[in-house]
Amino acid sequence: MTSAAEITIESLQTQLNERDQKIIRLEEQLAWLTRQLFGKKSERFADTPPEQLLLSGFENLEEKPPETKIVPAHERKQRTTSGKDAIKLPDDLPVETTVIDLSKKDKVCKETGVALEKIGEEISCKLAYRPGSYFLKKIIRPKYAHPKKEESGIATAPMPDSLLPKCRADESLLADIITKKFVDHLPLYRIAEGFVRERIVIGRRLLSQWVVGAGLALKPLYNEMKKRILSGERLHIDESPVDIFDSPKLTQGYMWVLVGGIGADPPYRLYEFKESRKHGHAEDILNGYSGIIHSDKYGAYETYIRKHKNIWCPCWAHIRRKFFEAESGDLNLRTWVLEQIQQLFAIEETAWQLSAQERLQMRQAQAIPIIDNLIDRIKNRLVQGAILPKSKFKEALCYFSSLVPYLKNYTTHSEARLDNNPAERAIRPLAIGRKNWLFLGSPESGEAAATLLSLVQTCRALKINPQTYLEDVCRRIMGHSAQKLCELLPDEWLKARMPIPQQS
């Protein structure tokens, strides 16, 4: 029979083992947190407590709701007259005048042949921008009328095409504001402060209206870009949270990112705003896409891939991260695995400098043996030897094992990649931006932000000045043929401006 002393010893030993495991887990967590806060790490994530968003000086979250008045049929917002939508300009602001006149034949009455008389002018003023200075663009359009037939009406030359009709901001100014917000990551209140330094006063509400209006007006270009990504051989997808302050509460939405195009680092970056992370959004965004998909192991992508039978290339960078974070356990195996994965990345760096066929041959000859060795050794480690069940090392081994059927997919398709880093890199500007502007004002502003982010970040990937691109496209899109919208996409826009090689 087992004595009471033996039972006590066995019980104490069990408690001691449990405490040892808990200590190891806590040490792993402490090491991970220390690395996130103080270590050199490209993917650094820090959650912002909700109460931190209420600090004064960022955004006025305590603004009182608009007053309402009762009308017979319904309740309507009381119109404010606080002047927040007004623009104040300095008296000595430079003015550049442009006269848009009728042609000579239009200055003659078509019925009688009598010359029309000038009776006045239509004057429009827009605040414009050129690098380093602001000025007022004054457009004068002479008005003409028949000297004796008043019923003939007034003839005036049409205004040039404008992205936002009747807007007091010129396209050059809109491009400047959009670039500052979505490339330089400045919130609108800082942009407004910058205008004040130039003695120009524009309210944040009006700036927000301009940004949202521009984003919605450029949506056709966004749709063209999405068509191109979904018609490609492969794409990369990821998602990241964004806060939405749709008064009176703060909620969480998600910005989904698609990256597509040709080459090792595809140029198209497309952001799509959704109010949640539910699986159905992946189905909606990918819209029946049947090509190669690069992603992390989020269930929404796995569900979509199983349903549509896509080729899935899981991200080896995520696998590497799992082993990098596993700082306890079998340190020799961890070091070996990280070295093997590093070799795979080195092979890819060389492979993408070769032709498609040579790339496949190099992967088959050099990468597949490394992957086979990784699979064999990790499987053996899972079935042999003790592993703490809740350790990060066990988590890394299991994560790797769950992806074994898909790990070699990239070696059989020349355009596939080893990782999902293009999508990860596309997330970074969004992550930097939300630390500055903190939240989106509404689902509508989320949709506009997605369009503008897509255009400017694609410009950055193609080494295009976003300001130059936006100013030109904003002036042309309203008069451009709907069937030729693809000509205004950043890559096509760049091709049209490249010098034509001269024939010798």
Please state, as a whole number, how many other Cβ atoms lie within 10 Å of the Cβ of residue 12.
10
Nearest one of 141, 146, 140 to 107, comparing CA atoms:
146
Cα separation of 211 and 186, whole Å? Answer: 13
323-338: per-residue pLDDT in tens?
Answer: 988 877 778 888 999 9
Q: In percent, how much of the chain has pLDDT > 90? A: 50
DSSP class of 418: S
Cα separation of 326 and 28, whole Å? Answer: 7
What angle, 0 to 180 degrees and rounded to 10, lies between the N-to-C axes of helices 466-476 and 171-182?
A: 140
Asked whether the predicted pLDDT for residue 166 surpasses 60, the reply is yes
Q: In this predicted model, which residue has the larger pLDDT, 471 or 68?
A: 471
Per-residue pLDDT band at 418 (split at 50, 70, 90) = very high
Amino acid identity of residue 292, one-letter, is: I
- What is each CA distance from 483 to 208, 221, 492, in whole angstroms? 30, 11, 14
Whether a cis peptide bond, with omega within 30° of 0, leads into 266 is: no
Cross-strand pairs, 316: none
In terms of C-beta density within 10 A (0-12 exposed, 13-18 middle, 19 or more buried), how is residue 487 classed?
A: middle
The 3-state DSSP class for residue 145 equals strand
Output the pTM of the full model. Answer: 0.77
Asked whether the predicted pLDDT for residue 24 surpasses 80, the reply is no
Contact 145, 153 (CB under 8 A): yes
262-289: per-residue pLDDT in tens?
Answer: 888 899 999 999 988 899 899 999 999 9
Cα separation of 85 and 205, whole Å? Answer: 7
Task: Give me the mean pLDDT over the 357-383 stretch.
Answer: 93
Largest pairwise CA distance in the chain: 126
- Report the b/e string of 99-129 with b at 16+ CB within 10 A: eeebeeeeebbeeeeeebeeeeeeebebbbb
Asked whether the predicted pLDDT for residue 484 surpasses 60, the reply is yes
